[in-house]
Every structure is written in structure tokens, then in C-alpha cells.
Copies of this chain bind each other. A is one copy, B any other.
Amino acid sequence: MSLPPLKNDRLIKALLRQSTDTTPVWIMRQAGRYLPEYRATRKQAGSFLDLCKNKELACEVTLQPLRRFDLDAAILFSDILTIPDAMGLGLYFAEGEGPKFERPLRSEADIGRLGVPDPSDSLRYVTDAVSLIRQELDGKVPLIGFSGSPWTLSTYMVEGGSSKEYRYIKGMMYQNPAALHQLLNILAQAVTAYLNAQIEAGAQAVMVFDTWGGVLTPQTYREFSLNYMQQIVDGLKREHDGQTIPVTLFTKGGGQWLEQIADTGCNALGLDWTIDIDQARSRVGERVALQGNLDPCVLYADPVTIRAKAQEIITRFGDHPGHVFNLGHGIHPAVNPDHLGVLIDAVHEFGFDIRK
């Protein structure tokens, strides 16, 4: 089935460092709990996983923020832990505690039993949702596909859930690095196949979330996180249907390692808020686009402050191609949705102004 051409291509152009009329903007977790319509659909679906696995409802919540806000992209509604779930670890969500696995990986034997999931089989619900969203978007804005990074997925799989100390995964990293490398190799293959399947189903850009890369040392970051993101970048379909598919890598807390991330050959870097975007640009800006980098807590402030903070980031980046505005992390559930509207309109306004 043929899909309509893209009406708003700001995101794709900015990720490829081409000129745009204004700064494109999308928001991590833009389909999420801060929206009352999301909470209603979530209730209808049952559990969070039920929502992820129901393509009609996943499509519905993906589109909800686009009905409210002048966003330049949609991002697939899904969870970063779909791959380990498809590997049979038994993902569940304990209320108020975040994700958990019934069968965390604690031994070489546990890792030895893992296989690379076939995206057309156990992850079919994801690619089905991608196809449906692309149809429903009707070319309005591009659809972003995503995955967790191998390192970030492995932290959940070995710890059995979220972690503060990373006791088991780092214990394995320092005590039995070969076992961890085996796991990360499998995950790099799985993520590559998964993202390629999303691209084939219609994702027009992809992003790898390395949420926990920032808890590593410089050396272990290179060896256990960046190395496997490099494998993914090398293995992705960078063109589909005659269109270039931009790849964004985002290591939260990775401000000290931007040059190395840019060296992977990705198209864009995600930035959290601990670095000024002009400084990041002067370090890597001629090689990659930059996506970010507003502190999500700015959305708790008043509209005047929100506008000022948006303007500051746009001014710091300056009149160059290659900036996609975003928060430095997901939007918080307690944010007033109207404040997000103020931010998005301010980005477009100041983005136009700086190009005059």
C-alpha cells in the first residue's frame, strides 16, 4: 500500500542538517500521562502493556498530542522493554514501582538461553502499530521509531527492574565481562532487527535511548554501551522507499562523551540539560544535528519563563541548520498540558525569528 508524501518535513531536514523555515520540535513522552485523554485511553486498555500491545489504542495515544499541539513529529507509543519481553523475561509493571521482570538474568546460563527475537513474530504488534500510525498520520508529520540501547536494556534485564546502584549488572561487568558482552551482542542484533522492522513498517526516523549510559565510567561507556550502539548504527537501513532515515543516539548523562557518540556516524545526538547547546554545537555541531535540551522542569514555571527559556536555547544554537528542539528527558506527568502548548508555539516563533 502506498503512503502519502510528507507534508511537514522539518524534522527530517533538521536531523540531516538541512535548512528549515523554523526549528522543529517534538517532546519525549509527548504521548503520556500528563494528557487527560491519554489517561482515559490507558484506563480503557487495562494495563500499560495492554495499551502497548493494542495497535488501535497505541495508534490513538500516539496521535493524541498532535491534535492538541503543533508538533513536528509523532513518536511511536511503545515501551523500551518490548525486546526483553519478547525474549521471555516476563515484563510486568508494578503500580508505582516501574517495570519489573519475573525472570531477571543472573548467570551465564540465563544469558546462554536467550535468542534474538524475530520482529515479524513476537514483536509484530509493534510493527503493526507503526503501519497503522503511518496510515492515520496521512503524511502530516514524520513518525519516529525507537528502541532502548543494548546497555540500557541489559540494566533492566539483569537488575530485574529499575536500579539505583546497578549492583548486579555492574557486578557482572567487572567480574564476568565476557557474559555481559554476550548479552549485549544479542541485544545489539535484536535492536538492529527491531529498528529495521520499524523502518520497513514505516518509521521515517529512528532513535536509540541510552537512558542509563551516564552511570558508566568513560572506559566502560565505550566498551559496554557505545560499542553496541555503533554496531546498531552500522546495521541500520539508512534508506527506505527512496528516503534517508536519520538515526539519533541519546545517552542521558553523556555530555562528557559527545565527540565519541558523534563518531559513530549517527545523524543526530540527543542532549540532556546539563550542557549548553552552543558548547555542544562547538564540540560536534558540524558532524551531527543536535536534539534538545530544555530541562523538563521548566514546564512547571509560568508561560513567560517558559518562553524565555525556549528562546535562550534557540539563541544559543543560533542560525544554523541541525537543531531539533526537545526536552532533555521525558515530559513529567504532573505538567499542565497548556504549558507544553506555550513551549511549542514559542519554539516555532523564535525559530522563525532567528532565521530572519
Q: Is the CB of B301 within 8 A of A174?
A: yes
CA distance A312 to B221 in the complex (A): 16
Q: Is the CB of B273 within 8 A of A167?
A: no
Question: Is A66's beta carbon under 8 Å from chain B?
Answer: no
**What chain B residues lie within 8 Å of A297 (beta carbons)?**
165-167, 170-171, 173-174
Give residues 204-228 of A contacting B (CB, 8 Å): 214, 216-220
Q: Shortest CB–CB separation between residue A311 and chain B, in angstroms?
A: 14
CA distance A195 to B220 in the complex (A): 37
- Name the contact of A301 in the complex, choosing from B165, B175, B301, B332 (C-beta under 8 A): B175
- Name the contact of A170 in the complex, choosing from B275, B276, B295 (C-beta under 8 A): B295
CA distance A105 to B339 in the complex (A): 24
Q: Shortest CB–CB separation between residue A220 and chain B, in angstroms?
A: 8
Closest B residue to A329 by beta carbon equals B165
Q: Is the CB of A253 within 8 A of B253?
A: yes
CA distance A216 to B328 in the complex (A): 11
Question: Is A107's beta carbon under 8 Å from chain B?
Answer: no
Give residues 239-283 of A contacting B (CB, 8 Å): 253, 255-256, 273-276, 279
**What chain B residues lie within 8 Å of A295 (beta carbons)?**
170, 174, 217, 220
CA distance A220 to B214 in the complex (A): 20
- Name the contact of A276 in the complex, choosing from B171, B174, B218, B305 (C-beta under 8 A): B218
Q: Shortest CB–CB separation between residue A211 and chain B, in angstroms?
A: 13
Question: Which secondary structure dominates where chain A touches chain B?
Answer: helix
- What sequence of 0s and 1s flags, for each residue 295-309 of chain A, a beta carbon within 8 Å of any chain B beta carbon? 111101110010001
**What chain B residues lie within 8 Å of A305 (beta carbons)?**
174-175
Q: Is the CB of A167 within 8 A of B300?
A: yes
Question: Is A178's beta carbon under 8 Å from chain B?
Answer: no
CA distance A166 to B175 in the complex (A): 35
Q: Shortest CB–CB separation between residue A294 and chain B, in angstroms?
A: 9
Question: Is A3's beta carbon under 8 Å from chain B?
Answer: no
Q: Is the CB of B253 within 8 A of A300?
A: no
Question: Is A6's beta carbon under 8 Å from chain B?
Answer: no
Q: Is the CB of A175 within 8 A of B214?
A: no
CA distance A14 to B301 in the complex (A): 45
Closest B residue to A216 by beta carbon equals B274
**What chain B residues lie within 8 Å of A253 (beta carbons)?**
253, 274
Q: Is the CB of B300 within 8 A of A275?
A: no
**What chain B residues lie within 8 Å of A175 (beta carbons)?**
300-302, 305
Question: Is A40's beta carbon under 8 Å from chain B?
Answer: no
Beyond the given A170-B295, A171-B300, could you list 11 further A-B residue pairs with CB under 8 A, ordered by the A residue number?
A165-B296, A165-B332, A173-B297, A174-B300, A174-B309, A175-B300, A175-B305, A216-B274, A218-B279, A253-B253, A253-B274
The 3 closest A-B pairs by CB, nearest first: A170-B297, A174-B301, A171-B300
